[in-house]
Amino acid sequence: MAGDTLRGRVFKYGDSVDTDVIIPARYCTGYHPEELAPHCLEDLDATFAERVHPGDIIVAGNNFGCGSSRENAPIAIKGAGISCVIAKSFARIFFRNSINIGLPILIAPEAVEGIEDGDEIEVDPSRGIISNLSRSGSWRAALLPPEVQEIIEVGGLVEYVRTRLSR
């Protein structure tokens, strides 16, 4: 995820956005982005899937992605075109799954306070810098542990394992 700066409009939600509202189990007989994206967040925000544009950004409160281990949740979000999720905190399985599938996620409680629904923001995920273009404000996200950063830098866990297997 190094390099590119992301820019998009914000969809803002509250605390404990759970995996059941991100992608209900009734759609989890599918696991590919194109099957899941049309139903992303439909029990929380029924018009999300029709309003979202590629590059848009989700900003949320504490414990984002709590609940099920279903990887379908970050896959649905990424498949819907969301470029990055910024939250005050993430539930741990969602956190791992997002890193593993290459969905940029940032922990930045102050940024969440300073960003409103519909704002236009810019994010440099590799440096953790978040800027609000609609109103003043710039923040730095918490850095991931170096070991996790390393997994991201080799292209995610799958690449890490592929390299190990080919040794």
Sites of contact with another protein (CB under 8 A): 16, 18, 20-21, 24-26, 28-31, 43-44, 62-63, 66-72, 89, 91-93, 96-97, 100-101, 145, 147-148, 151, 156-158, 160-162, 164-166
Q: Which is nearer to another protein, 67 or 81 (CB)?
A: 67
Q: Which is nearer to another protein, 49 or 157 (CB)?
A: 157
Going by C-alpha positions, the residue among 65, 81, 62 that lies closest to residue 73 is 65
Q: Whole-number minimum distance, CB 164 to another protein, in Å?
A: 6
Q: What is the DSSP letter of 144?
A: P
Q: Whole-number minimum distance, CB 122 to another protein, in Å?
A: 28
Strands 129-132 and 6-12: unpaired
Going by C-alpha positions, the residue among 56, 15, 159, 52 that lies closest to residue 100 is 159
Sign of the Cα torsion 33, 50, 58, 44 reads: negative
Q: Which is nearer to another protein, 63 or 132 (CB)?
A: 63
